[in-house]
Amino acid sequence: MRVALAVVAALGAILLFLLASASANTALFAENYPWLLAINGAAAVALVVLVGLQLRRLRRDFRNGVFGSRLKSRLLLMLSLMAVLPGALVYGVSMQFAVKSIDSWFDVRVDAALEGGLNLGRSVLETLQAELLAKARDAALDLGDAAFVSPSRLNRLREQAGAQTATLLTLSGQVLGSSSGEMGAFMPSIPSPSQLRAARGGRGLALIGDVGDAGGGGLMLRALAPVSGGGLNLDPRILQLTLAVPASIAKSAESVEAAHRDYQELQLGRLGLKRIYTLTLTLALLLALFAAIALAFFLAERLARPLLILAEGTQAVAAGDFTPRATVAASDELGVLTHSFNSMTHQLGEARAQAEHHRQETEAAQAYLESVLANLSAGVLAFDLRFRLRAANRGALAILGDDLGGFEQTRLHDWPRHETLAGAILGGFARRGDEWQEQLEIARPDGIPQALLVRGTALPAAGGGGYVVVFDDITRLIAAQRSAAWGEVAQRLAHEIKNPLTPIQLSAERLQIKLADQLTGASRELLDRATQTIVSQVEAMKNMVNDFRDYARTPLPQLAAVDLPVLLGEVLGLYENSRAIIAVVPAPTSAALPSVLADANQLRQVLHNVLTNAQDALTDVADARITITMAQEGARARLTVKDNGPGFPPQILSRAFEPYVTTKSKGTGLGLAIVKKIVDDHGGEIRLANNHGGEVSIWLPLATQDAAKRI
């Protein structure tokens, strides 16, 4: 690098000497011009080679991804610009001074005279263009009131304007009419679409060009003027007039132009001198640029070293490596910075170890909390301060029967579903404060309400605030409580009512025996009717008490594998004389449907009750039909009994499984209550619905080992 700098400095001195000699001695310049050119070329090549070698080295490091090459490149660019910009300013001023000095060596009077002649010729042509354009405008005004222009009229207008040709065109370039003053003349050239649009947009357009279509040389003037009027349905029209420039004027213009061109050729010597001055100053600029680049390389290396150490250390810290780095043995700020960086990395290492320990503890606590919430049977909903959903456990999704997709971006006031629950939550926090509890019922699609016990709590503001709502589905609990209450009532009825019924019946029969012989006529008939009424009503009360006793003392099922299609076939054999048409669709087989885990006797009782209720619902239906379907749904079998009757009344549907709830004129309403109790004891599920008639669906577990253990 030092040798290169010395060579370039010597070459610069030689170039400066030659520049001064050439400026002071013109003969010396003319005699040694080839040598000067060769030396300048060699110097330029040497500068390009030296600079190229340095840039190639930097480019190789950049491509190979050598750490710090980008920083060196930026430092080199900034330092080079700091040196080049002032040099470029001096270069520009020097070039301007040299060019003006050379221009002052030549006589400018001839050049001015030739320029004046050229300007005079241009003025004459511009005058002719203006006159022709004015005539074209006048002719266009004359044509404006005519929808159709005859050739004779167009010829007359051309003669009045003194033009060579007259052509009427549309805006798209279509020729509507043409007139020429010369026999056998060619069709004049058509203007371009842009020229036609320019003429239409303004007050006209004047053009000048070479004569090409008419043959021979010379110049041709052309004027384009828009033609207005002619009706609303006509396309816009353009009138074109052409006129050849007089030969004398064209010849004079060509003479002046030729003279000016010859004078320019005479100035080649001046241009060569300008070039050598320009080349010399350019080489001087390149010398300064190369020196600046060399100095920039040196400074970049010195400045980049501590910065590269810091950059490498920051990358290592970002990657998690906090090991100490090398330092710069210097007392300046950069050396102190490298030492401070090592101290900082040591502290960061200790802080990371502590943060990692705290993170592991936090993640473990969070995982434990998430596991607890996920396995809760209760539903948990978490809201922020604006009542937007932030978290929901599996229990909440299962109870609501909804995945709550998209609810995170919707405030609780605007929930598209579960309006009852949303209103209860908002009202609870608004009316009862930070902690409240409420029981509510939510309507389900099957018509049976779902009972929820909802509890709300406001989170402390120290943790960010928000609200937590916990709710349980207590529908089955309420149903179980009602069933237990009815069972207790049934036991009390069986105990308190049945005991006095037998003495009452016996007493009535004894009265009839004792008094029958003592009474005659109407008194005897009255005694018989009264006695028979007492006996029959006592018997009815005994049957009712027995039904309540059976409901309260339903034995636990003796579970075993039961072939549901076979059992259904046995039960349907008892309904062969039914007025309703009973069909199993499709008719399943034992191979198609696995066995269920059930008590055959109790399941037979369930089927009898359901079919009897379906028959009773079809009493007033002419075309009575009962359809039974069976299918496997996961680990359960589904049995559906559907009739085409009037269905369940809405007021009965939600309480149909409670004792003494019935639409029949006679009966205790214990049929569906007993069915519900048997199905629940089997670990199954029963639902009622109105689907174009009454529909009863029963789910029973399949006879698998897991189901047996669960029961």
- pLDDT recorded at residue 138: 81
Answer yes or no: is pLDDT of 349 > 80: no
| Fold agreement between 376-472 and 560-710 | no
- pLDDT recorded at residue 379: 84
Output DSSP code: residue 509: H
- pLDDT recorded at residue 627: 92
Structure-model confidence comparison of residues 379 and 75, the more confident one:
379
Answer yes or no: is pLDDT of 299 > 50: yes
Helices (H), 377-474: 394-400, 419-432
- pLDDT recorded at residue 323: 74
pLDDT tens digits along 230-269: 555 566 788 888 888 777 777 777 777 777 676 665 555 5
- pLDDT recorded at residue 629: 92
**CA distance linking residue 143 with residue 136, whole number of Å:** 10
Band the pLDDT of 105: cuts 50, 70, 90. low
Q: Name the range with the highest mean pLDDT among 34-43, 438-447, 477-486, 617-626.
A: 617-626
Does residue 333 sit in helix, strand or coil? helix
Residue 528 near residue 653, CB atoms below 8 Å: no
Q: Which residues pair with 469 in a beta bridge?
A: 381, 456
Band the pLDDT of 691: cuts 50, 70, 90. confident
| In CATH, 560-710 is 3.30.565.10 | yes
pLDDT tens digits along 141-195: 877 767 677 778 888 888 888 888 888 888 877 887 887 876 555 566 788 888 8
3-state secondary structure 459-500: CCHHHCCCEEEEEEECHHHHHHHHHHHHHHHHHHHHHHCHHH
Answer yes or no: is pLDDT of 107 > 70: no
Global pTM? Answer: 0.39
Band the pLDDT of 707: cuts 50, 70, 90. very low
pLDDT tens digits along 436-478: 888 888 877 666 677 888 898 988 887 778 888 888 887 777 7
Q: What does the mean pLDDT of the chain come to?
A: 76
Structure-model confidence comparison of residues 610 and 362, the more confident one:
610
pLDDT tens digits along 593-609: 888 999 988 898 889 88
- Domain positions in the chain are 2-106+267-308, 121-180+190-256, 376-472, 480-552, 560-710
At what angle are helices 475-496 and 522-552 packed, to 10 degrees? 140
- What CATH number matches the domain at 376-472, 3.20.20.80, 3.40.50.720, 3.40.190.10, 3.30.450.20? 3.30.450.20
**CA distance linking residue 564 with residue 603, whole number of Å:** 9
Band the pLDDT of 36: cuts 50, 70, 90. low
Question: Average pLDDT, stretch 345-373?
Answer: 79
Answer yes or no: is pLDDT of 23 > 60: no
Does residue 508 sit in helix, strand or coil? helix
Residue 40 near residue 279, CB atoms below 8 Å: yes
Band the pLDDT of 641: cuts 50, 70, 90. very high
User: Which range, of 27-36, 93-102, 411-420, 495-504, averages the lowest pLDDT?
Assistant: 27-36
- pLDDT recorded at residue 190: 82
Q: Which CATH class is domain 121-180+190-256?
A: alpha beta
